[in-house]
Amino acid sequence: MGYLIAGNWKMNGSRGSAISLASGLVARANAAQMQLPGIVLCPPGPLLPTVISAISGSAIAAGGQDCHAKDKGAHTGDTSASLLADIGCRYVIVGHSERRADHGETDAAVRAKAEAALKAGLIPIICVGETDAERDRGGTDAVVTRQIKGSIPAGVTAGAIVVAYEPVWAIGTGRTATSGDIASVHALIRKVFGGEVSVLYGGSVKGNNAAEILAIPGVSGALVGGASLDLDDFWRIVEACPHGK
């Protein structure tokens, strides 16, 4: 199972910044002497064609930040997984905590989106993670267990999906979970899932803490927000992936 570094640009960027970031990454990937991890860029939807054209022919992949559970129809403002696949995406993030919070997405809704992604031939990056309040009352394991059971399609094989553990309190705050907590939640996720699924860590992963986080047992890569908007910082995270795994 190789490492995966995914950049979630969230609602940031412009055509100009997307071209310079994506083409800068392609130049670094092409010049790299090391064995690279998988790299995925998830820009806002309108920038996907720009990014896909900039990464064309490179080892870098593109992904959506969300998809609808249905394949088509009267769903103004939404995007289907099949359209994401059609324009050249290989991944799609589903169930990000910002979508769970801002759009009231339940575990069942997230699972339906993941099913749509699988049907479209995409790899869903299924996000889970507890809030500050849930953690404070000792509920991390229960919340993550419920999310894994509720959000992952039944019977899916480990290789068809990626899970991202993103403690909500660590997103955009500069706080990260301890190595012990990350290792234990990643082990819990695999136990509840029942297989060797790839589990990314997300939440304030930066160039200066990536090596430490990526070396934690059970961490398969990172889902990076803020630092993915900076070419140098994102590339430091890519380079921090341990070799030979």
Interface with ligand 13P (CB under 6 A): 8, 96, 166, 171-172, 202-205, 223-227
* Closer to ligand 13P by Cβ: residue 82 or 165: 165
Kindly state the smallest distance separating residue 215's Cβ from ligand 13P, in Å: 18
37 and 214 in contact (C-beta within 8 Å)?
A: no
Query: CB-wise, 53 or 209, nearer to ligand 13P?
Result: 209
Minimum CB distance to ligand 13P, residue 63 (Å): 11
Active site residue 105: no
Active site residue 96: yes
Report in angstroms how near the CB of residue 203 gets to ligand 13P at its nearest: 5
Cβ at position 30, least distance to ligand 13P in Å: 26
Q: Which entry of 68, 96, 98, 105 is annotated as an active-site residue?
A: 96
Of 70, 25, 62, which Cα lies nearest the Cα of 46? 62
Q: Identify which of 42, 36, 44, 41 has the alpha carbon closest to the alpha carbon of residue 12.
A: 44
Task: From the candidates 98, 105, 130, 166, give the one annotated as an active-site residue.
Answer: 166
d(CA 76, CA 244): 45
H/E element, 185:
helix 179-193
Nearer to ligand 13P, 172 or 194 (CB): 172
Structure tokens at 136: 């404070």
What is the spatial distance between Cα 217 and Cα 184, in angstroms, rounded to a whole number? 9
Closest-CB residue for ligand 13P? Answer: 225
Contact present, 4 and 38 (Cβ < 8 Å)? yes
Residues belonging to the active site: 96, 166
